[in-house]
Chains A and B, each alone.
Chain A
Amino acid sequence: MLSLGREKISEPLTIARGDVSPIDLFTIKGSEINKDFKDYKSALAETIEYNLSILDELPSLKNLPLEEIKEHFKKIMEEDIRKDPLFEKSVEIKKYTSDISKYLVSYFKEVFDYQKNKEEKLDSRLFDSCRLFYNSDLPLQFLTTIEEATLVQKDFVHIYEKRLHKEHLQLMVNRSNHKKFGRICDEHNRWIKPLNEQTRTISRLWLRLFWYVDFSNSSTVENLFEVKPIKSDCLDMTAIQDLMDKLKKETDKMEGSIESSMEFKPYTSFEDNSGARAIRKIMELLSTTEG
């Protein structure tokens, strides 16, 4: 049953903005991170700045001056961010992480909602990538690279969510035991820190690639993120290849990092999934022709 893309028929591609994700660290009151607490306004400024900084990393654009895009971004981004439930949640979560022992219930309520929104956003990115591909003459490698990067992040969301459920319970049980509570927080932080960095690197590279392709095929700044034909002639394919290689490298790295946290899940039925059935049948046919 088709579910992705149904609500997006008349919409432009999502702005595919970069998020300054919440600091997914648990902190007990009085620690260093508490000082880093940011209010809504500064988080907004930080997110805008983050996105503007990605613009500086794009391969050079021949069709539009970068300064013009920056100006346009400044105009549209604030409103876009304000409307984004993911951003609002991330600010809320940051507040609660500043003292997890006090805000335990609120934190987990918000964080589970955030994870759900994040997954929806990744689904949306996946659809945008596929749609862009069918409006382009780009090689299949472009689609598979950009899509794998999205799917590995989705797997990470699932792994993270499962871990959070376990930790939620552990923290609740040990709420009055400061030492144990602290140990659970430390373990969580040790686990999440490198993975958070990896997922942010992937996200940043994903945006660089997606934006470069979209911007290079836009005639004006108003045309950015609109659905339009994408021509490889408008792109520096060496720069594209370089970005794809970097993104694939980071995706593989992340894949390796999360693999040990993945639970074995056997594939037990193709009945409900016509896509899986088609792939399995073609696997058989390819094996026959090559075997």
Chain B
Amino acid sequence: MSFGQFEGFFVDTCILLPQALDAVMKACSEFLKEYSSKCILSSSVKKEGLELIERSYNTIVTYFQSAIKPYLIAKGVKGLSNRDGKLIADFFVEQKAQFSHLPYKRTNIQYELISTIETYVASQLHSLKNGEKMPIDVFLGAVTAELAIAKREMGAPFRGLRCEEIKPRDSVTSAIVIGAIMKNPDDAYHLASALEFQFSRNKWVIFVTTDQEDILSKAPELEEMFLRCSRPEWAMDYHSDLTKNKAPIEHAKEKHDCTLRQQRVIDAIGISATPK
């Protein structure tokens, strides 16, 4: 019996840009440090990651331009120093008060969003040297330029990793959506990309993520559909396990008592076709 080969770890956005929690950050960093040469980025994850960074940056800059700047101008402020904290704090108090009429969940998100910007502005304002006063356009310009550099650095992991242009067939994406009852179509597309790639190369892949709610909670169903998903801490253990199997196509072909989920994938992929 010949064993299947391993092609690589498909990484999710949350692996390349982990949440700022120590444990998650550590697990992702260690995984990438050790196995980055075996990591693959699907074109859809790359696009999603870079666009999300861009939109987050745009949210902050738009807020500076449309809310903070007009407020400071209306107050007749010419320049800012590290002693103007109260002025900025008052602005954020006013802003948050506007959300009191919104439903709780929505208020909470808006509140957190503005609090995030508030924390950032406070750290930048307090970083000014004593006695230094900056015109508003210089302060906002400098803060934005630094933010743009941070944005670029955050995009770097998406640019330096092996990327595969994959367009999974609709039938494969549908099989994932129906089989694992996926709520997020983007996640279904990323998983379908990994699955499509696995069968086109006839080599095993593992989808690595920390997304418990949308992906890892469906790991048993996805495994049944021939796609292994894992947290970064266990990815290598699953790798050893997977390569004890035959290659993906042979493995799927030999399933005599296919479940409905498996049959959908087999039909969608067209397993009888000769591997590339």
Residues of A at the B interface (CB closer than 8 Å) are 1-6, 8-9, 123, 126-135, 140, 143-144, 147, 151, 154-155, 227, 255, 259, 262-270, 273-289, 291
Contacts and interface: CB of A to CB of B under 8 A. Distances in A.
B124 A2 contact: yes
B121 to A, nearest CB: 9
B154 interface: yes
B128 A2 contact: yes
A265 B61 contact: no
B146 A267 contact: no
A269 B32 contact: no
B56 A279 contact: yes
A126 B148 contact: yes
A281 B214 contact: no
B47 interface: no
Contacts of B25: 268-270
Contacts of A130: 140-142, 144-145, 148
B126 to A, nearest CB: 10
A151 B160 contact: no
A274 B120 contact: yes
A280 B154 contact: yes
Given A127-B141, A278-B116, A285-B113, A151 B152 contact: yes
Contacts of A4: 141-142, 145-146
A151 B144 CA distance: 13
A259 B145 CA distance: 23
Given A130-B141, A285-B113, A266 B16 contact: yes
Given A133-B144, A263-B160, A282 B113 contact: yes
Determine the main DSSP class of B at the interface with A. helix
B149 to A, nearest CB: 7
A151 B137 contact: no
Interface of B: 16-20, 25, 28-29, 32-33, 36, 52-62, 64-65, 69, 109, 112-113, 116-117, 119-120, 123-124, 127-128, 132, 134-154, 156-157, 159-161, 183-184, 214
Given A276-B150, A282-B56, 8 more contacts: A6-B142, A131-B140, A140-B61, A267-B153, A275-B146, A276-B153, A279-B151, A291-B214
A285 B52 contact: no
A283 B55 CA distance: 8
Given A2-B128, A126-B148, A282 B116 contact: yes
B55 A286 contact: yes
8 contacts: A127-B145, A128-B141, A144-B58, A259-B159, A266-B32, A270-B25, A279-B57, A283-B56
B137 A227 contact: yes
A9 B141 CA distance: 11
Contact of B124 (A134, A135, A274, A287): A274
**Interface pairs A-B: 3 shortest CB-CB:** A131-B141, A5-B142, A275-B150
A9 to B, nearest CB: 5
Determine the main DSSP class of A at the interface with B. helix
A134 B120 CA distance: 18
B51 to A, nearest CB: 10
A134 B65 contact: yes
A151 B214 contact: no
Residue among A227, A267, A288 with max Cβ neighbours from chain B (10 Å): A267
A127 B150 contact: no
B202 to A, nearest CB: 26
B19 A284 contact: yes
A277 B132 CA distance: 25
Nearest to A258: B159
A156 to B, nearest CB: 12
Residue among A2, A8, A133 with max Cβ neighbours from chain B (10 Å): A2
Nearest to A277: B20
A265 B154 contact: no
Given A144-B58, A278-B60, A279-B53, A264 B20 contact: no
Contacts of B147: 275, 278-279
A269 to B, nearest CB: 7
Contacts of B135: 9
Contact of A278 (B120, B127, B157): B120
A127 B142 contact: yes
Contacts of A268: 25, 29
